[in-house]
């Protein structure tokens, strides 16, 4: 059994979640986290319909998954994450013990949220190591971190596990001081208004690659970063 936490239910996360639900079994669980609501601007690029307008994105997406895909173990948190988020009530010791692997999947569109989620992963990895040392058991793939980021037509996906932690902030240290964006995991409307439109195909491509990474994880040398270019059909690994 696996536990998947998807932070951000917009362009990439919104496309990923329904595919992931079809890919996984009913023994697996999916947790969607997003504090944003569905607006008219979201309908073209994200998997929502008019009847979803004014609903929370995580809630709307969760209901679709549980009703359409027959995946009944999808849950949601309709809040933005911040420094006060009580992660110990979200990633409990019982969850760590129950599931074979826990996937932290970051699909947010700003660096402050990424850094917070990175810190949650590092804390969880440390807690798991302390617990496994006591119980004399350690699974290198117990905790997996996947972080997707893209511009209009290209992007990259950072992947690591609890054995070898190398996160986006390790590849790009400058993001630690990038505080752009009022919301921690908000929408892309501000970016779009500034003329950097994220193409639907780019978000969809990112979601497909994340699914491929999950399905083929044991064959990927971690830590890794996967670069992709939507329209030039280039996928590079580092």
154-161 and 2-7 beta bridge pairing: unpaired
Where do the domains of the chain lie, and which CATH numbers do they carry?
2-237 (3.40.50.720)
Q: What is the pLDDT of residue 237?
A: 59
- Global pTM reads 0.89
| Closest alpha carbon to 156 in 172, 141, 140, 137 | 172
For residues 33 and 84, the answer to whether their CB atoms sit within 8 Å is: no
Q: Is it the case that residue 92 has pLDDT exceeding 60?
A: yes
Give pLDDT, residue 238: 57
| Rounded CA separation 24/21 (Å) | 5
159 Cβ contact list (under 8 Å, min separation 6) = 144, 145, 146, 147, 213, 217, 220, 222, 223, 224, 225, 226
- pLDDT tens figures, 16-74: 999 999 988 888 999 999 999 999 989 888 889 999 999 999 999 999 999 876 667 99
- The angle at the Cα of 5, spanning 8 to 193, to the nearest 5 degrees, equals 10
């Amino acid at each position: 059994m696996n536990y998947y936490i998807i932070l951000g239910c917009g362009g990439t996360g919104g496309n990923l979640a329904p595919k992931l639900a079809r890919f996984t079994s009913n023994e697996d669980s999916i947790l969607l986290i997003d504090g944003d609501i569905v607006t008219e601007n979201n309908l073209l690029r994200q998997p929502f319909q008019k009847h979803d307008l004014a609903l929370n994105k995580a809630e709307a997406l969760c209901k679709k998954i549980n009703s359409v895909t027959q995946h009944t173990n999808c849950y949601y948190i309709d809040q933005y994450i911040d420094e006060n988020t009580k992660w110990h009530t979200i990633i409990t010791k019982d969850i760590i013990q129950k599931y074979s692997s826990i996937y932290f999947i970051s699909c947010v569109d700003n660096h402050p949220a990424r850094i917070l989620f990175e810190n949650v992963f590092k804390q969880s990895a440390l807690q798991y190591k302390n617990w496994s040392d006591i119980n004399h058991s350690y699974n290198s793939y117990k905790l997996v971190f996947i972080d997707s980021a893209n511009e209009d037509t290209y992007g990259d996906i950072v992947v690591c596990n609890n054995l070898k932690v190398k996160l986006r902030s390790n590849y790009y240290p400058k993001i630690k001081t990038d505080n752009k964006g009022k919301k921690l995991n908000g929408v892309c409307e501000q970016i779009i208004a500034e003329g950097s439109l994220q193409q639907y195909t780019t978000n969809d491509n990112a979601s497909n690659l994340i699914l491929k990474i999950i399905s083929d994880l044991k064959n990927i040398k971690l830590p890794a970063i996967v670069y992709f270019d939507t329209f030039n059909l280039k996928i590079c690994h580092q």
